[in-house]
C-alpha cells in the first residue's frame, strides 16, 4: 500500500490538537460536519470529505439520517485504500429516531459501519432521545401520530444493545445528542458504559451554559453542532426571531480585528471555550481556513468576554417535527422546568 497523499497546503496531522474522551479514546479537536440538508447533495458532501482528508481533517461527523453515508463511505474507503491508516481517522455516526429498539439499533449501527466502509466506529451516538419517524425533507408542521416522548426504560434498552457492540469492538465510544440535564442524569445513572460525548447545539447566541458545565463536570465532552449558526439549515428550522451569529456587529468587529471571516471567530471561540466544533462546508477554501482557525491567532480574554455576552438563548434546531400527540410546543422537548414532559417516571408515557 502507498502513502496517502496530503495536499500541498495541508495542515500536518500532528499539528491538529487532540482531546481525550473520558474513556481514554482520542479525538481531533475539530471535525467536519456532513449534514448536507436540502442544499448539498451526497456527492458534493463526499467530495468535500475527500478534500478535507487531504487537508488534515481526521474527524468526520456522520449520521444515517443525513442520507449520504454510502457516499461519504466511498470517500473514506478511497483514502484508506490509498494508505491512510484507519487508526488516524475518527468516524462518528448516529442512530436515527426510527431505530430506537435493541434489534433495530444493532442492525442500524452495522449498516452505518458497512456504508461508511470503516470496519468499526470511533463513536456512535443516539441522535435524538425521542422515538419517532418523519419523512426526510418534511415541513415544520409535519407531525407523526406514532411519535413518542422520552421514556427512560426504552432509551436504556437501546443503549444496552449498543453497549454490547462496544464489547464486540464495533464501537469505541458511546454518546448522546440533544439531551438535557434531567435526561443525562438518568442515562449516567443507568448506563453500564457511560456516554462520553453529548453532541449539542452551541454557537455564540446559544451557549447552553448550565448543560455545558454539567457535561464537563460529568466527563461528557460537548461536541458543538451548528457552530457557525447554521446559515443553510433546513427551511423548517428557520423562524423570524432567529439571530444570525455571523451577522452580529460584535462578531464582525472581532473578525475585522483579526482580518478573517466571522465563521473563524465562531470556531476560535468554541475551541477556546472548550467545546469541539464540527463546522460543515462544501468549499475547500473554507474547510482549510476552518481547520487553521483553531491553530493560530487566538482570541483575547476581552474578545472571549464580548462573545460570552452575545448569549440570547437562540436555539435554532427546535425539533418541533419530533413532537408526540399531546405535546404542546417544541419547548416540551427541552425539559425547561427540570422535568421530562410526557413521561410519568414509571416506564410509561
Ligand X SMILES: NC(=O)c1ccc[n+]([C@@H]2O[C@H](COP(=O)([O-])OP(=O)(O)OC[C@H]3O[C@@H](n4cnc5c(N)ncnc54)[C@H](OP(=O)(O)O)[C@@H]3O)[C@@H](O)[C@H]2O)c1
Choose between 113 and 226: whose C-beta lies nearer to ligand X: 226
In angstroms, what is the minimal distance from the CB of 33 to ligand X?
2
In angstroms, what is the minimal distance from the CB of 348 to ligand X?
26
Is 66 in the active site?
A: yes
Q: CB count, 10 Å around CB of 257?
A: 12
Q: List, in order, residues 6 or more apart from 337 with CB less than 8 Å away.
A: none
- Which value, in Å, is the radius of gyration of the alpha carbons in the chain? 19
Beta-bridge mates of residue 270: none
H/E element, 20: strand 18-20
Annotated catalytic residue within 59, 66, 124, 212: 66
CA distances from 6 to 3, 12, 30, 50, 278 (A): 9, 9, 18, 11, 21
Choose between 97 and 144: whose C-beta lies nearer to ligand X: 97
Choose between 82 and 311: whose C-beta lies nearer to ligand X: 311
Q: How far is Cα of residue 132 from the mean position of the Cα atoms in its chain?
A: 19
How many helices (H) and strands (E) would you count in the chain?
10, 10
Q: How far apart are CA 32 and CA 62, in angstroms?
A: 9
In angstroms, what is the minimal distance from the CB of 265 to ligand X?
10
Choose between 93 and 152: whose C-beta lies nearer to ligand X: 93
In angstroms, what is the minimal distance from the CB of 347 to ligand X?
26
List of residues contacting ligand X (CB under 6 A): 33-35, 61, 127, 177-178, 199, 225-233, 261, 263-264, 278-283, 286, 289-290, 317
Cell numbers placing 146? 406514532
Q: How far apart are CA 57 and CA 287, in angstroms?
A: 9
Q: How far apart are CA 69 and CA 279, in angstroms?
A: 17
Contact between residue 121 and residue 94 where contact means Cβ atoms under 8 Å apart? no
In angstroms, what is the minimal distance from the CB of 96 to ligand X?
10
Choose between 3 and 10: whose C-beta lies nearer to ligand X: 10
In angstroms, what is the minimal distance from the CB of 106 to ligand X?
21
| 271: phi then psi, degrees, rounded to nearest 5 | -65, -45
Choose between 81 and 139: whose C-beta lies nearer to ligand X: 139
H/E element, 223: strand 221-225
Residue nearest to ligand X according to CB distances in the complex = 33
Choose between 102 and 231: whose C-beta lies nearer to ligand X: 231
In angstroms, what is the minimal distance from the CB of 1 to ligand X?
29
Beta-bridge mates of residue 94: 125
Q: Exposed, middle or buried: residue 136 (CB in 10 Å: 0-12, 13-18, 19+)?
A: exposed
Cα dihedral across residues 119, 123, 127, 128: positive or negative: positive
Q: What are the catalytic residues?
A: 66
Amino acid at each position: 500500500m502507498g502513502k496517502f497523499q496530503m495536499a500541498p497546503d495541508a495542515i500536518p496531522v500532528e499539528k491538529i490538537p487532540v482531546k481525550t474522551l473520558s474513556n481514554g479514546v482520542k479525538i481531533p479537536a475539530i471535525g467536519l460536519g456532513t449534514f448536507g440538508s436540502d442544499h448539498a447533495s451526497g456527492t458534493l458532501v463526499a467530495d468535500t470529505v475527500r478534500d478535507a482528508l487531504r487537508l488534515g481533517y481526521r474527524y468526520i461527523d456522520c449520521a444515517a439520517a443525513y442520507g449520504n453515508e454510502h457516499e461519504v463511505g466511498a470517500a473514506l474507503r478511497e483514502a484508506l485504500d490509498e494508505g491512510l491508516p484507519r487508526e488516524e481517522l475518527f468516524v462518528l455516526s448516529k442512530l436515527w429516531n426510527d431505530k430506537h429498539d435493541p434489534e433495530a439499533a444493532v442492525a442500524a449501527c452495522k449498516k452505518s459501519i458497512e456504508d461508511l466502509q470503516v470496519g468499526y466506529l470511533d463513536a456512535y451516538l443516539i441522535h435524538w432521545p425521542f422515538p419517532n419517524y418523519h419523512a426526510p425533507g418534511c415541513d415544520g408542521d409535519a407531525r407523526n401520530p406514532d411519535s413518542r416522548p422520552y421514556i427512560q426504560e426504552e432509551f436504556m434498552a437501546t443503549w444496552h444493545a449498543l453497549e454490547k457492540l462496544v464489547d464486540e469492538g464495533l464501537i469505541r465510544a458511546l454518546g448522546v445528542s440533544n439531551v438535557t440535564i434531567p435526561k443525562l442524569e438518568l442515562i449516567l445513572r443507568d448506563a453500564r458504559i457511560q456516554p462520553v460525548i453529548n453532541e449539542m447545539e452551541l454557537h455564540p447566541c446559544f451557549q447552553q451554559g448550565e448543560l455545558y458545565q454539567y457535561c464537563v463536570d460529568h466527563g461528557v465532552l460537548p461536541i458543538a453542532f451548528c457552530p457557525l449558526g447554521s446559515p443553510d439549515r433546513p427551511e423548517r428550522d428557520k423562524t423570524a426571531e432567529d439571530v444570525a451569529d455571523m451577522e452580529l456587529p460584535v462578531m464582525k468587529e472581532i473578525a475585522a480585528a483579526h482580518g478573517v471571516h466571522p465563521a473563524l471567530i465562531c470556531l476560535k471561540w468554541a475551541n477556546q471555550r472548550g467545546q469541539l466544533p464540527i463546522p460543515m462546508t462544501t468549499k475547500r477554501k473554507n474547510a482549510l481556513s476552518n481547520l487553521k482557525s483553531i491553530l493560530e491567532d487566538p482570541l483575547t480574554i476581552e474578545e472571549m468576554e464580548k462573545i460570552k455576552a452575545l448569549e440570547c438563548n437562540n436555539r435554532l434546531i427546535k425539533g418541533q417535527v419530533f413532537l408526540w400527540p399531546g405535546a404542546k410546543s417544541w419547548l416540551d422537548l427541552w425539559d425547561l422546568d427540570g422535568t421530562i414532559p410526557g413521561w410519568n417516571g414509571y416506564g410509561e408515557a
